[in-house]
């Protein structure tokens, strides 16, 4: 295993809040591209363990190298944060931001790259002058053990904003510049003209797969071999389509049933992040995924009985596992 300590400065320096698989992937690719980022770990003990390890053992194309990426924790922050890539789990976002809020500049650029919906609005409320963007990626990355990261598959990353501040002179150009600044080879970030539609489709697919992987305690692909799970998937999707129509978000969702099955096949060997959280006794993202869906439905006066049942069951399992 080679040891690399590339630290050539970049004109675009991003702080990365969340040192999990996706945050680590962006940091590692930046380091290999000769760009500087800073990983923000949760606390001093996590930072100390990272430094003791000497960096992240990053594997791509069957080659592994140890990347010593600049890192800190909230208590050790010194420099102001102007550009922040947020890759924490949805349920951890506000707590993590609160820990560093004194260092985040009022007009910072903040990009949320995570599962679930409903968090961006809360972040914008806490940082009203910031430019808050959302992103979605299909890049594959996982951590086989602490401080080890595998880039398992290439994907697409899209970025955009539901509403751009009126004080931006050329919003299209700024979004393009931000996307370019986060495109550390081989990662490529492109601007989406309708990020809401992208994130809504992703939420729908997550609602159809992740909770059921917990209920049936199985890999994604194994759901396809369980008649009960297949019936539940169909019902979940039907309910989502009904809500989408009420919200006028049903454009380009005609193939949602088929796409859910295709994603389950394409990720057949994956254990969903929600199932991994359950197995590790961690809090899940269920509130930002199925919970968000059910809250939207309630506001529309709609009932989503299958989704609500899955939400209640995952809540019960999660509470039981963490007690």
For 3, phi then psi, to 5°, come to: -115, 125
* Burial tier of 309 (Cβ tally within 10 Å: 0-12, 13-18, 19+): middle
78-89: burial string, b at 16+ Cβ within 10 Å, e else = eeebebbbbbbb
CA distance 234 to 208: 8
Which position among 202, 226, 245, 299 bears the catalytic label? 202
Residues contacting residue 49 through CB under 8 Å, at least 6 positions apart: 146, 147
Residue 43 per-residue DSSP state: S
* Burial tier of 297 (Cβ tally within 10 Å: 0-12, 13-18, 19+): buried
CA distance 267 to 209: 10
* Burial tier of 137 (Cβ tally within 10 Å: 0-12, 13-18, 19+): buried
Any catalytic annotation for residue 202? yes
The residues annotated with a catalytic role in the active site are 202
């Amino acid at each position: 295993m080679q040891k690399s300590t590339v630290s050539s400065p970049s004109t675009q320096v991003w702080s990365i809040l969340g040192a999990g698989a996706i945050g680590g992937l962006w940091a590692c690719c930046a380091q290999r591209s000769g760009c500087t980022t800073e990983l923000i770990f949760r606390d001093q003990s996590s930072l100390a363990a990272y430094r003791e390890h000497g960096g992240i053992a990053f594997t791509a194309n069957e080659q592994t190298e140890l990347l010593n990426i600049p890192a800190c924790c909230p208590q050790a922050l010194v420099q102001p944060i102007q550009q922040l890539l947020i890759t924490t789990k949805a349920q951890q976002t506000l707590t993590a931001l609160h820990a560093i809020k004194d260092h985040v500049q009022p007009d910072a650029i903040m990009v949320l790259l995570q599962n679930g919906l409903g968090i961006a609005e809360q972040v914008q409320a806490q940082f009203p002058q910031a430019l808050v963007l959302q992103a979605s990626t299909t890049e594959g990355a996982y951590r086989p053990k602490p401080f080890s990261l595998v880039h398992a598959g290439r994907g697409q990353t899209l970025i955009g904003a539901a509403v751009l501040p009126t004080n931006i002179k050329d919003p299209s150009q700024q979004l393009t510049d931000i996307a370019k600044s986060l495109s550390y080879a081989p990662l490529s970030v492109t601007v989406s003209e309708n990020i809401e539609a992208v994130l809504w489709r992703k939420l729908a697919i997550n609602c159809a797969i992740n909770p059921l992987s917990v209920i049936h305690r199985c890999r994604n692909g194994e759901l396809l071999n369980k008649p009960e799970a297949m019936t539940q998937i169909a019902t979940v999707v039907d309910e989502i389509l009904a809500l989408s129509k009420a919200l006028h978000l049903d454009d380009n969702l005609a193939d949602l049933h088929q796409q859910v099955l295709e994603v389950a096949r394409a990720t057949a060997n994956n254990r969903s992040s929600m199932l991994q959280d359950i197995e590790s006794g961690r809090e899940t993202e269920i509130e930002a995924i199925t919970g968000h869906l059910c809250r939207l439905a309630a506001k529309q006066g709609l009932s989503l009985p299958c989704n609500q049942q899955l939400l209640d069951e995952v809540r019960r399992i999660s509470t039981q596992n963490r007690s």
